Amino acid sequence: MPLELNSTQQDFETAFAAFLGSAREAEADVDAVVATILDDVKARGDAALLDYTKQFDRLDLEARELRLETREITDAVKACDGGLIEALELAATRIEDYHRRQLPGDDRYVDTAGVILGARWTPIASAGLYVPGGTAAYPSSVLMNAMPARVAGVGRLAMVVPAPDGEINPLVLAAAKISGIEEIYRIGGAQAVAALAFGTQ
């Protein structure tokens, strides 16, 4: 049922607060649940990932199946409309061009006391990218995370994306391929973030 809110109404503050409250997580203590998941993944690694993937995404996998195979990515790209692929490629180019202009430069100079001073920019070795893929899929999230990392010189990009009932939006995988991401895992939620942060088997 549509909800109409008008800031000039006398009960606006109450109605707006009720609306915001209804949009929050149903779980009373989300922080505690997330902390439990993080601790579990840290302690049990892949076994915890598999359990949570089965629980939340209804996907019963073995550890070796968490990572997508190259064939799966290629097949997904082939299933996409050519016009959409072109749009993603254009967006990737534009994002790359924009972030290339932001690249900082190293600086080195000798001050008046004869001391050599400077700053050196070095990319991090790896980055983990969480891409929504459950109730909403955003190929743009792939591009907006991966392209700046590529421009910065990050060597390894690992992407996680939920696959409810085994499904991943093909455009998300197409955006990953366009971005040069080859390491993609079909996991989502707090457990995926924990896997990126702590590592697993």
Considering the four listed CATH numbers 3.40.50.1980, 3.40.50.920, 3.40.50.150, 3.40.190.10, the one that applies to the domain covering 12-198 is 3.40.50.1980
Question: For residues 173 and 77, is the Cβ–Cβ distance under 8 A?
Answer: yes
pTM of the model: 0.79
Q: For residue 38, what are the contacts with CB-CB under 8 A and spacing of at least 6? A: 190, 193, 194, 197, 198
pLDDT in tens, 47-56: 999 999 999 8
Max CA separation in the chain (angstroms): 72
Gyration radius (Cα) of the chain, Å? 22
pLDDT 10s digits, 162-172 = 999 888 999 99
pLDDT under 70 in the chain at which residues?
1-2, 20-28, 134
